[in-house]
Structures are given as C-alpha cells and as structure tokens.
C-alpha cells in the first residue's frame, strides 16, 4: 500500500482558493454544472500586458505631422503607413480617416474595431505619478493607488467589497488566472486563483488512490473523498481545509473543456478560454484578471514583415486570442455583459534606441472591448508627437487621461458601483468619457483639486477627428494631469 503524504505545497495548492467557499456558503459545495446561459450580471476582465507594450507600434500614426515625427524618431523601427506590411487603417463609422492604424498583425482587433466593439483611449496611464520602474508601475495600478504602497487590498478586491447590497450572491465572484494571487485581488477572501482548471486538483500519490473512478471496487474511497471528512472540526486548519475542498470540488464540477477548434493554440488563449468558460458556467463571476508578458523590448523588437519580428508575433498572439474570446462569448450572448480592459503599465519612448528597441516611456493606448462598448472611436486627448509637446515629459507621450477615469466609468455604468473614493483612494474629478453604455450614478469621490499648472497650447494639426468628423481635441486642450494639480515627475528608477 502506498504511503500517501500531503505535502505543504499540495495543501497550499488547494487552500489558495479556499476563501471563495467561506463567502458563498453551502451553495458552492453543491454547485451545479451549468451550461451556457446569458448572465444577469456583468463581468469585467482586466488583461495586463506586463513589460510595457510599445503603443506607438500597436496604434500607429499613418499621416500628417505625427507621421513625420514618428518616422524621424524611428527610422529603422517604424511600421509602414501602407502596403503589404503596413498599418491596418482605422476609420470611423462614417468613413472618416482617423490618421491612425493598427499593427498589421492585429487583424482580429481591426475587425472588432470595424464592428464597433473596440474603443481606444489615447495617451492613457497614471496621470499623477511618473515612474520608469516596471515593479512600481505595475503595483500602483494593481493596487489602484498610483504613487503609494501599503494597501492591503487590490482595486478589484475593493470593487467587489463595495458592491451594492442588492447584488446577488455569487459562487465565484472573482478569478485570477495565474500561478500566484494577482495583486489586483490582494486581500480578497472569496476570489479563486488557478493557472488552469486541469491543474487545480489534489493529485499527489498513486493515480489509483487519488479518487473514486468508474470501475473501482465497491466501497472504495480515494484520498480526495477521505480528506473531505477530515475538515469537519472548528480549528483554523480544518476550516481552511474545508473551504479549499469546496473550491476544488466547485472547479471539478463545472466540466472545463480543452481549447476548442478555431482558437490559437497557446497558453494565453487557454487562459482566456478558462475565463470564457467560467463566465458561461453562470457562477456569478464579476471580476477576472490575467497577464500577457513579454513586452519589455529594449533590443531586437522588430517591426513587421518576413523573417524574425518579435512584436509581430506578440501582437498576433494578443489580437487573435482576444478575437476568439469575443466571438466565443458573443455567439452565446454573454459578450453583451462582458467588458475587457487591455492595459500596460506604461508605454515606450517615442525615439528608438541604438539596439533596435525602445526604452521605458509614459503614456500609452488603453483598449476597451465588449458588447456594451461604444466602439470604433478614439477617446481621450492626443497632443501629438511634436518634440516641443513631448519635452515636459522627457520626450515621452504625456498621459492626458488617467486610467482610473476609464475604470471608474466601467465600474459605474456596467457594474453599478459608484464608490470611487474607496476603490481608488485619492482619485478626484471623475467624468465619464462615454466609452461604455449604461446608467450614470453620482460618483462617491473626493472633491476636485484646483488646477495649479498652466494650460498647454496644442497645434491644430495634432488633433484627430471624432465620430462626427470634427476635431476630437480642442486647440487648447487641457489634459487630466494638468487639471488635477501638481504632478510628481520624479523618476523613481530607470531600468534596462
């Protein structure tokens, strides 16, 4: 007989999601295997592109003065304005040219844009704190507290905890598809974290002894069934074990399937497929988060074309998987209640470096896609690539839209949660941009901080048309970072 021993690693594997049972109660222990059904609640999926994606080679200037500045700054690292490996044109619904295009590998995102389901927020990021450190910037965003450490909870944790009292109960309200707990879910007592459903199991020891299976001797009880009886006491270990066992059983009951045909065959697609299935199982999923890394390209970044082009492959991976995710949920009705935010901690420098790459920058495009998105439009303020405009931010694209403004609109209009002062402590002056559909609720936030920085003149040539064909950026545009008082431009750390 095998000597089965439950190691600390294996026990923690189950306990990593144990808290989800505590909040859901007995319903989690006996959750049904629910098939696809349109949910009566919304889900926000936060995709973090860790490493700092080069937004200028994702959303590419294709004409005008910005195209000239772009080519001057990147003589060997530019995406062509047209041609076989040229940018994919982005037009408005009325056919107006936006003077921007997507990387030629982003055909899936281009199709979502043309369908009106993708919106792009220009020059988005942390408007009150500048740092070139991946670690600082990522943690600030995950915690929802730019410039400040020390929060015991992530922004998604606080978003769920401050939900309306009328919110229906959920078996699985928050999910992190990761090997470790995402910082955005830090402190969550009812979130589940798993790298993949197939790995979320206690499978140590001999295969035959792990659990009861068809063909086993009558009366046989495996290790998993036996362990369930050990958590009936009141000690902390027993309570934690009981909740972990419930979480394991919940996942096991749902019938997670392998990646379907038509999806790209890679790990990122499998992670998105896990989220898609969890939404379809109708477990009450409100918040989900996952990462796609590999964007820190100080050298050998590549552009587009034949041969080795790193960014071409990465952007294709991102675009194709998001397109498959959207179509999967759209075909069964759930995409109408799903909003995906695609964000990186910061952008890259406008000017290419000497190693065929780009260094850490500041402002960057932020993508929002979903069934309720007012897409095929740019939002925010684009100040252009003129060096005189970039000089106050050390040659980087300035942040003109605080990312929390975008998140807040989604929280209010899609999640019905106006408690911004608790979710994003210190954030002020919220006003919706109109990115998503929904009902506005008066935001519970702190008073507006009086502006103390003079306005910045914006050349008319740097404006981009909106859906009506008129300039979306007034000639005297005042970015968010100028309206919210002094900006901390201290460079905390520069990494290579």
What is residue 457's predicted lDDT score, i.e. its pLDDT? 31
What is residue 477's predicted lDDT score, i.e. its pLDDT? 41
What is residue 453's predicted lDDT score, i.e. its pLDDT? 30
CB 105 within 8 A of CB 361: no
CB 102 within 8 A of CB 92: no
What is residue 55's predicted lDDT score, i.e. its pLDDT? 98
Determine the 3-state secondary structure of 101 from DSSP: strand
Nearest to 367 by CA among 49, 128, 43: 49
What is residue 271's predicted lDDT score, i.e. its pLDDT? 97
CB 183 within 8 A of CB 154: yes
**Rounded Cα distance, 171 and 25, in Å:** 8
Contacts of 367 (CB under 8 A, 6+ apart): 109, 118, 119, 120, 121, 340, 341, 342, 343
**Rounded Cα distance, 344 and 325, in Å:** 19
What is residue 312's predicted lDDT score, i.e. its pLDDT? 94
What is residue 469's predicted lDDT score, i.e. its pLDDT? 36
What is residue 446's predicted lDDT score, i.e. its pLDDT? 53
**Rounded Cα distance, 70 and 55, in Å:** 12
| Total residue length of the chain | 496
**Rounded Cα distance, 396 and 160, in Å:** 35
CB 395 within 8 A of CB 351: yes
Q: What one-character DSSP code corresponds to residue 340?
A: E
**Rounded Cα distance, 361 and 384, in Å:** 15
Q: Is 416 left (phi over 0), alpha (psi -120 to 50) or beta?
A: left
Scanning the structure block, which residue is given the tokens 């190693």?
Answer: 355
CB 174 within 8 A of CB 288: yes
**Rounded Cα distance, 271 and 256, in Å:** 12
Give the 3-state secondary structure of 104-140. Answer: CCCHHHHHHHHCCCEEEEEEEECCCECCECHHHHHHH
Kindly compute the dihedral angle of the four CA atoms of residues 451, 454, 459, 460, in this order, to the nearest 10 degrees.
Answer: 40
Residue 168: burial class (beta carbons within 10 Å; 0-12, 13-18, 19+): exposed
**Rounded Cα distance, 18 and 245, in Å:** 7
Q: Which residues pair with residue 45 across a beta bridge? A: 288, 340
What is residue 425's predicted lDDT score, i.e. its pLDDT? 96
Write out the two tokens for 164. 């309306």
Nearest to 197 by CA among 279, 253, 114: 253
Task: Give me the tens of pLDDT residue by residue for the chain, a chain 496 residues long.
Answer: 333 333 333 333 344 433 333 333 333 322 333 333 346 799 999 999 999 999 999 999 999 999 999 999 999 999 999 999 999 999 999 999 999 999 999 999 999 999 999 999 999 999 999 999 999 999 999 999 999 988 999 999 999 999 988 888 888 999 999 989 999 999 998 899 999 887 766 565 566 656 667 777 777 777 667 766 666 767 766 666 666 666 667 777 788 999 999 999 999 999 999 999 999 999 999 999 999 999 999 999 999 987 779 999 999 999 999 999 999 999 999 999 999 999 999 999 999 999 999 999 999 999 999 999 999 999 999 999 999 999 999 999 999 999 999 999 999 999 999 999 999 999 998 999 999 999 999 998 654 443 333 322 333 333 343 433 333 433 334 444 444 333 343 333 334 4
């Amino acid at each position: 007989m095998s000597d089965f021993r439950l190691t600390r690693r294996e026990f923690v594997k189950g306990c990593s999601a144990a808290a989800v049972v505590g909040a859901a109660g007995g319903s989690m222990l006996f959750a049904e295997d629910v098939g696809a059904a349109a949910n009566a609640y919304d889900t926000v999926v936060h995709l973090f592109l860790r490493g700092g994606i080069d937004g200028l080679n994702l959303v590419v200037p294709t004409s005008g003065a910005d195209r000239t500045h772009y080519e001057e700054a990147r003589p060997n690292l530019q995406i062509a304005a047209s041609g076989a490996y040229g940018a994919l044109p982005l037009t408005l619904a009325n056919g107006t040219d936006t003077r921007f295009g997507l990387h030629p590998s982003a055909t899936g995102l281009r199709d979502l844009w043309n369908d009106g389901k993708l919106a792009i927020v220009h020059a988005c990021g942390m408007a009150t704190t500048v740092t070139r450190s991946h670690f600082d910037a990522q943690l600030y965003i995950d915690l929802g507290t730019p410039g400040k450490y020390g929060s015991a909870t992530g922004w998604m944790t606080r978003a769920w905890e401050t939900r309306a009292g009328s919110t229906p109960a959920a078996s699985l309200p928050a999910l992190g598809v990761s090997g470790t707990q995402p910082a955005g879910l830090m402190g969550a007592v009812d979130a589940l974290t798993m790298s993949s459903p197939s790995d979320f199991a206690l499978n140590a020891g001999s295969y035959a002894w792990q659990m009861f299976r068809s063909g086993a001797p009558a009366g046989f009880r495996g290790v998993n069934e036996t362990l369930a009886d050990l958590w009936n006491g009141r000690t902390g270990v027993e309570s934690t074990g009981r909740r972990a066992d419930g979480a394991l059983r919940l996942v096991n009951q749902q019938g997670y399937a392998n990646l379907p045909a038509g999806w790209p065959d890679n790990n990122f697609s499998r992670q998105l497929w896990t989220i898609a299935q969890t939404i379809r199982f109708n477990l009450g999923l409100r918040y989900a988060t996952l990462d796609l890394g590999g964007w820190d390209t100080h050298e050998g970044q590549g552009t587009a074309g034949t041969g080795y082009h790193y960014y071409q492959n990465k952007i294709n991976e991102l675009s194709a998987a998001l397109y498959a995710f959207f179509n999967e949920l759209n075909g069964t009705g759930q995409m109408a209640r799903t909003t995906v935010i695609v964000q990186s901690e910061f952008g890259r420098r406008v000017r290419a470096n000497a190693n065929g790459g780009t260094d850490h920058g500041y402002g960057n495009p932020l993508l929002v896609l979903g069934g309720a998105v007012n897409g095929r439009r740019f939002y925010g303020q684009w100040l252009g690539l003129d060096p005189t405009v970039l000089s106050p931010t050390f040659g980087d694209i300035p942040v003109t839209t605080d990312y929390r403004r975008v998140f807040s609109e989604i929280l209010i209009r899609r999640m019905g949660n106006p408690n911004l002062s608790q979710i994003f402590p210190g954030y002020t002056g919220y006003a919706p941009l109109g990115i998503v559909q929904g009902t506005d609720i008066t935001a519970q936030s702190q008073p507006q901080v009086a502006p103390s920085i003079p306005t910045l003149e914006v050349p008319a040539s740097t404006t981009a048309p909106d859906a009506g064909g008129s300039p979306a950026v007034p000639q005297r545009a005042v970015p968010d970072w100028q309206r919210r008082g002094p900006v901390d431009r201290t460079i905390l750390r520069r990494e290579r």
